[in-house]
Chain A
Amino acid sequence: MAAGAAGGGSWRMGAAERRGRGAETLFRGLLFCVLGCGFCWGNSVERKIYIPLNKTAPCVRLLNATHQIGCQSSMNGDTGVIHVVEKDQDLKWVLTDGPHPPYMVLLEGELFTRELMLQLKGSSRISGLAVAISKPSPAQGFSPGLKCPNDGFGVYSNDYGPQYAHCNGTVWNPLGNGLAYEDFNFPIFLLEDANETQVIKQCYHDHNLPQNGSVPEYPLCAMQLFAHMHAVTNTVTCMRRSSLQTAFSLNPEEVCDALSDYNVWSTLKPINASSKIDPMDEVIIVATRIDSHSFFWNVAPGAESAVASFVTHLAAAEALHKVPDVKTLPRNIMFTFFQGETFDYIGSSRMVYDMEIDKFPIRLDNIYSFLELSQVALRDSSVLWVHTDPVSLRNESIQPQVKTLVEALMTSSVGANVSLQEVNQSQPLPPSSFQRFLRAKHIPGVVLADHRSSFQNRYYQSMYDTAENILMKYPEGLSPEETLDYVTDTAKSLAEVATVVARALYQLAGGTGNTSAIQADPRTVSRMLYGFLIKTNNSWFQSIIKQDLKGLLGDELPQHYIAVTQLVNTTQLVQYVLANLTGTVVNFTKEECLNPEKTPNPEKEMYVYTWAQGSRDPNSTSRVPFCVRSTVHLSKAASPAFELKQWGSTEYSTWTESRWKDIRARIFLVASKELEIITLVVGIAILILSLLATYFINAKAHVLFSSSGDAGAVAY
């Protein structure tokens, strides 16, 4: 180091020189410190210019075999002058009148309709859109999904029930405006925090409002949205480009990922998951979906469309496991939770495919009947409708079995506050995982729903499908612990449905005992609803997860989007809750529980062992962990189209999500184009001037800097 060398050699020098050297190194050190710190402190200039918007959700690009949907921004973000649109007339300024295009529109949630969006889509004066979530939810309903969800991937087609295909018979989602399936070429963000929306509106009022009819002048308040998506056109193109890049490029740049995750399944009687069950064994499949979607990325509360159904399913599974003689029932019951059903039945199509190619322990021939729980939370006057497939009912072998199924359900509903009614036999099945099983084989089955023809859910697959949508109301002033344990009316109603389902399943599985003892616990239902709709970081969920999965539980509202990462929070939590509700606690140590193959146990292939960290004592801070033995398994929920590399398949789901580098939003003041150009020109002029000056001074240096006499020793 120079300082060290200077210090080392200084003992030979004189005292004055030593002091000089010391001062020099001190000065160098100070300079170094200031420059280093200046790096960190230099960001304060950025903080004075930009206000970042943190609580936002983008709209991303999704692709399927033929189309791309979603939004795209430019590579370095899209900037535009902010204009707040609170009523329809404000839109005129943006589309025709405003003198400073392009504009960045801040839209009230109530105005987020299809007509307005199509107007914006056709305009070149829009550089982006920010939607402020409307609280309370829009009264007339809002659903960005399709009117006919998962059309073309269910069972009804031109070959099978053509009069029911493409929602010819019944339009399931009449409020669906299809916005989530449109392609926009500007970025659209959701502003989730009302405070941030207020900041933007304040900036707009300060700078952008026309004063007394005159045009607002620069500097104006502008917003910049970054959401550049890498994939284009469709899944075929983006998967081809990704595979070319990984095969041939030195620095592979993949552009999209398939939507995939895992299904959760469990059997009432344990089976060996690594081998096939006996062909004579009969299994009843109970199915629900666990995912949802909305216009924006990772915003999918899905209360009525998914959560209420799978919570009911979990409660029914718990009730059934409590029955003493389940191990001796003639037929087995498989509780299946399908992931990815929103995107053309990813999970169920994969399970059917695995069953067809013998990769799954259970074959299609083993299925005795099928019971699906569709949306069940908004029952009108306690009626639960039973939907059947009219085409397969014409088959003489199917019809009596469906009749048995319906009768079991009817007898189970006696005494419970649920009245089951069958829908008209000429109506097709609603969008459900059962349709994928019917595509492969005619199986007797029913779908239970709270709607007779079109959905009761007015916010199907939207950001407003929250706890308020299923009428979950808590009294004021409760602490989080009390809220967790409070039993809402919704929970009681869903527990009734679960009781009916559990009793019916017991009968169908061949149980002969008295079913009145089978009851679903409303308290468990309420806790699950709280955990999956309001806050996952509660004491019950904390006690059933493994210790090192702390990232699993968060304090914000839970979202149930399938995403492209493996094992999203929802799948893992459903797995843990199911294991905890249907499993038994065994006396294993942590090592034995985490490595069950080391213990000699003849039954260990039938079971799965989960280590839970246990609940915390109120007095101490430590937890009492335990080991749970259950039959909960995961099965891959990735579309067979990607296994078979048929990216243009119309048979299986081909949904992929684009990749991106940077998604953020910020607001700042922007100057007029003229000022920018003037600054640039002045800068270039100064540069040229200084170059000329330097050249001339250099050329005339001998005249300018000459001194009389010689200059001493000339270096060269």
Chain B
Amino acid sequence: LRKSGKCLGGGSQVPSSPVRGASRGRGRSGLPPGGGCNGLLSGVRGVWAPRLTPLLLPPAARGAGASMNLERVPNEEKLNLCRKYYLGGFALLPFLWLVNVLWFCREAFLAPAYTEQPQIKSYVQRSALGLLFWVVVLTTWVTIFQTHRARWGELGDYLSFTIPLGIP
């Protein structure tokens, strides 16, 4: 039986596989026994079905089963994503640069060459630089604050969100 209707999270319909009796070995992982959907939110049951993957995922990946896998994403989609993450990190969001570096590292440096790769490589390098800058700044500030807060007296108390009890 094929179920009609929408899939949550933009997954596509998967026909139900017949139950095979007398089969040995392990079953295929990931596919539910009956028919259903697969995709990012295939496990979510319910009536509420927002479109949660407008920008953050490659569009083609919505039908590819595994969500963060870049294998079947076309190259210009990859470049688009990399650029979006790179530009987004300028909004004081260093974690976007961290994700960019980790996600596209293999694509930029280890995969066989293709046309968009140099641009992806430059984006990854610039994200890495930005990330390094942020790490240095934050580490310095955290070290200074933790060691000098007690000495700053009033200023230290105004800068603190939680003040430890019982120590200066």
Residues of A participating in the B interface, judged by any CB pair closer than 8 Å? 72, 75, 228-233, 237, 240-241, 244-245, 249, 253, 255, 710, 713-714, 716
Q: Which of A230, A240, A714 sits near B166, CB closer than 8 Å?
A: A230
Task: Tell me if A710 and B163 are in contact (CB < 8 A).
Answer: no
| Total A-B pairs, Cβ < 8 A | 39
* Interface residues in B58-76 (C-beta closer than 8 Å to A): none
Closest 6 A-B residue pairs measured CB to CB? A230-B165, A716-B27, A232-B168, A230-B166, A241-B163, A229-B166
Task: Tell me if B23 and A714 are in contact (CB < 8 A).
Answer: yes
A229 contacts which chain B residues (CB < 8 A)? 166
Task: Tell me if B166 and A72 are in contact (CB < 8 A).
Answer: yes
B141 in the interface (beta carbon within 8 A):
no
Task: Tell me if A244 and B158 are in contact (CB < 8 A).
Answer: yes
B118 in the interface (beta carbon within 8 A):
no
With A244-B158, A710-B24 as known contacts, state yes or no: A232 contacts B167, CB within 8 Å: yes
What 0/1 readout, one digit per residue, does chain B (10-51) give for beta carbons within 8 Å of chain A? 000000000111111001000001000000000000000000
Show 18 residue pairs from A and B whose CB-CB distance is below 8 angstroms, ordered by the A residue: A228-B166, A230-B165, A230-B166, A233-B168, A237-B157, A244-B158, A244-B163, A249-B162, A255-B165, A710-B22, A710-B24, A713-B21, A714-B20, A714-B22, A714-B24, A714-B27, A716-B19, A716-B33
Q: Which of B154, B158, B162, B166 sits near A232, CB closer than 8 Å?
A: B166
A72 contacts which chain B residues (CB < 8 A)? 166
Task: Tell me if A714 and B21 are in contact (CB < 8 A).
Answer: yes
B168 contacts which chain A residues (CB < 8 A)? 232-233, 237
* Interface residues in B124-164 (C-beta closer than 8 Å to A): 153-154, 157-158, 162-163
B149 nearest CB across to chain A (Å): 12
Grouping DSSP codes into helix (H, G, I), strand (E, B) and loop, the A interface class, with mixed when no group exceeds half, is loop
B157 contacts which chain A residues (CB < 8 A)? 237, 240-241, 244
B23 contacts which chain A residues (CB < 8 A)? 714
A232 contacts which chain B residues (CB < 8 A)? 166-168
Task: Give bound CA distance, A710 to B157, whole Å.
Answer: 71
Chain B, residue nearest A228 (CB): B166
A575 nearest CB across to chain B (Å): 36
- For the complex with contacts A230-B165, A237-B168, A716-B27, 20 further pairs of A-B residues with Cβ separation under 8 Å are A75-B166, A228-B165, A228-B166, A232-B166, A232-B167, A232-B168, A237-B153, A240-B154, A241-B163, A244-B158, A249-B162, A253-B165, A255-B165, A710-B22, A710-B24, A713-B21, A714-B22, A714-B23, A714-B24, A714-B27
Chain B, residue nearest A72 (CB): B166
The interface centre, meaning the residue of B21, B24, B153, B165 with most chain A CB atoms within 10 A of its CB, is B165
B29 nearest CB across to chain A (Å): 10
Task: Give bound CA distance, A210 to B121, whole Å.
Answer: 72
A253 contacts which chain B residues (CB < 8 A)? 165
Task: Give bound CA distance, A241 to B24, whole Å.
Answer: 68
A244 contacts which chain B residues (CB < 8 A)? 157-158, 163
A356 nearest CB across to chain B (Å): 30
Task: Give bound CA distance, A233 to B168, whole Å.
Answer: 6
A249 contacts which chain B residues (CB < 8 A)? 162
B33 contacts which chain A residues (CB < 8 A)? 716
A75 contacts which chain B residues (CB < 8 A)? 165-166
Task: Give bound CA distance, A112 to B15, whole Å.
Answer: 86
Task: Give bound CA distance, A225 to B38, whole Å.
Answer: 59
B27 contacts which chain A residues (CB < 8 A)? 714, 716
Task: Give bound CA distance, A716 to B163, whole Å.
Answer: 56
B23 nearest CB across to chain A (Å): 6
Task: Give bound CA distance, A464 to B33, whole Å.
Answer: 82
B27 nearest CB across to chain A (Å): 5
Task: Give bound CA distance, A244 to B22, whole Å.
Answer: 70
Task: Give bound CA distance, A713 to B166, whole Å.
Answer: 65
B167 contacts which chain A residues (CB < 8 A)? 232
Chain A, residue nearest B28 (CB): A716
A231 nearest CB across to chain B (Å): 8
B153 contacts which chain A residues (CB < 8 A)? 237
B158 contacts which chain A residues (CB < 8 A)? 244
Task: Give bound CA distance, A178 to B102, whole Å.
Answer: 64
A64 nearest CB across to chain B (Å): 16
Chain B, residue nearest A253 (CB): B165
Chain A, residue nearest B22 (CB): A710
Task: Give bound CA distance, A429 to B24, whole Å.
Answer: 103
B167 nearest CB across to chain A (Å): 6
Chain A, residue nearest B163 (CB): A241
Task: Give bound CA distance, A233 to B153, whole Å.
Answer: 10
A230 contacts which chain B residues (CB < 8 A)? 165-166
Task: Give bound CA distance, A231 to B166, whole Å.
Answer: 5
Task: Give bound CA distance, A229 to B168, whole Å.
Answer: 12
Chain B, residue nearest A233 (CB): B168
The interface centre, meaning the residue of A240, A245, A714 with most chain B CB atoms within 10 A of its CB, is A714
Chain A, residue nearest B161 (CB): A249
Task: Give bound CA distance, A249 to B160, whole Å.
Answer: 11
A65 nearest CB across to chain B (Å): 14
A228 contacts which chain B residues (CB < 8 A)? 165-166
Task: Give bound CA distance, A710 to B168, whole Å.
Answer: 72
Chain B, residue nearest A73 (CB): B166
